Every structure is written in C-alpha cells, then in structure tokens.
Structure 1
C-alpha cells in the first residue's frame, strides 16, 4: 500500500501488486503500462493513451518528478512503514527544524514555489535555481513555516546567500 500525494489536497491510496490487480482509493484501476526504455513509458487507461517520462527520483525522500503528456507532476509517496510512523505520531522524530535555506551555488532564481506563512515539510520544493543552464529545485531541509523569502523572481544569488527564512 502506498499513499501518493501530488499537492496539499490531492492524495491517493494505491495498492499495486505486480501480476495482480491495482486499486486506487479502493476502486479497481485497470491500466496497461509499457516501458519504452530511458525512463519513457506508454500508459493505456479507459481507452486513453498517455505518454509518461520519469524526470527524477529521490529514493530516500520518496519523491518523483514525472511528465505526463508533457505536464510536469511532482509526487511524494509514503509506504506502509511511513504511514505507521505517522499513525503512531513518530514521523516528526526524524524531522529536523530549520531556520534558513542558503543558496548552494551562484545562480538565477527562476521560480518561487512558496509564500510567507506556508507550512512546509522536509523535501517540499521551495525555489528553482538556474545554474550553468540547469534548473535545480531547492527543497526544504526540514519542517517549518516560511517566515520570509529574501529573494525575488529573476534575482542573481551568490553561494551561501540566505534565500528563505523559517520560523
């Protein structure tokens, strides 16, 4: 059993068994998945065809970035052990409290995905920093509430510059 989140209000309970049936929120989910290689997949569901591409995977945080028919989608998964820790109230024991996020390298801020007052968890995307023509998603190093964003869109930043403050 997996719980997959694509946003604050979009959560799906998925039970996937290779060779068996797949259910999503308790309903049978019939689909055909074909790997095309190099992170490319073809999916058939309810007579519709979907092109999927796996952009990035962070196994320790169980975060995945996909493109589904060209649309970018970020997924956060929790397995049965993560859910059990949540249920027992132990999920926060490993979360670290942070005070600030600093730029890991010089670059250009091309996207800001949070706002002051927003509560974030470890691994949540905060900013996108372009450096050497590559986009780097800067994620929350721990749980906290955004108290201030010290940069604006299109700002050039230096390594070590404070970008986000947490309370």
Structure 2
C-alpha cells in the first residue's frame, strides 16, 4: 500500500510499506517520539490530530508541519467525488426506508446542529431516529405526524 502525504498544503510525498518498515521511531509518550532516519535523530511531537480527516500537526525539532495522509483508497474516493465532506452538502432529508412518521421534533425556521434528532420514523416495528446531516436551518417540513412515507420520499428540506 502507498500513502500520499501532503505537508503544509504543497509538498507531496509518496510513502510505501517498505519505507514505513525502515522507519525507526521510539514512542516516548502518547504524542512524543524519538526518530532515527539516515543516522540523524529527530524529536517529533504530534500537537494536533483529526483522525477522521487524517490530518495532523507535527512539531519536528521545533519546526511545525501540517500533514494530511491519504491512502490509495482515500485518493480513489476523492477522485470519484465521494469524500466525507461532500455528504455534508445535503439539503434534503429523505426517508431511508418506508415507514410511518411518529414524531417531528423540529419546526420550520428552527436551527439544528449536525446529528440533532429531527424526526422519528417507525419501520418494521422499530423506531428510527432521523438526525440532521449537518448544521442547518429547517426550510420546509414535507410530512406530518402519522404520515406513511415511501423510501426516498422527501421528509425535510434544509437551508
């Protein structure tokens, strides 16, 4: 497997498994490492990390670097336009399955945060809490309590 690393937004390095196997690092603490590379020693510290976005801020010998790491799969997903962030542009909340609207927890014009519950959909005798896909304002509620809905039917529009 090959990893593409982007340092400070403009320097790109490809790192393969062989290079990783030759990497000599000793963990000093949860965020600090002593690194030996080509007979040179480096003190490295991870000062910030976002595991989901695979971004890190690393200080090496008192120099700070912003590093993004992408695998072959991450690159393919990005090239196909299926990045995690792309899903956050969703403006319509649709029914994931056929069911019955039991409760609507929001009103038009209300602000919601990502993952806030917006309604409860009963399907196959189970209550499914449908949450906001992103921070937004409720633009339009297309259903009412007690409505039966089909899969992919519009439930709520977001601004």
Please give the TM-score of this superposition, normalised by the length of structure 1: 0.46
Tell me which structure has the larger Cα radius of gyration. 2
Please give the TM-score of this superposition, normalised by the length of structure 2: 0.48
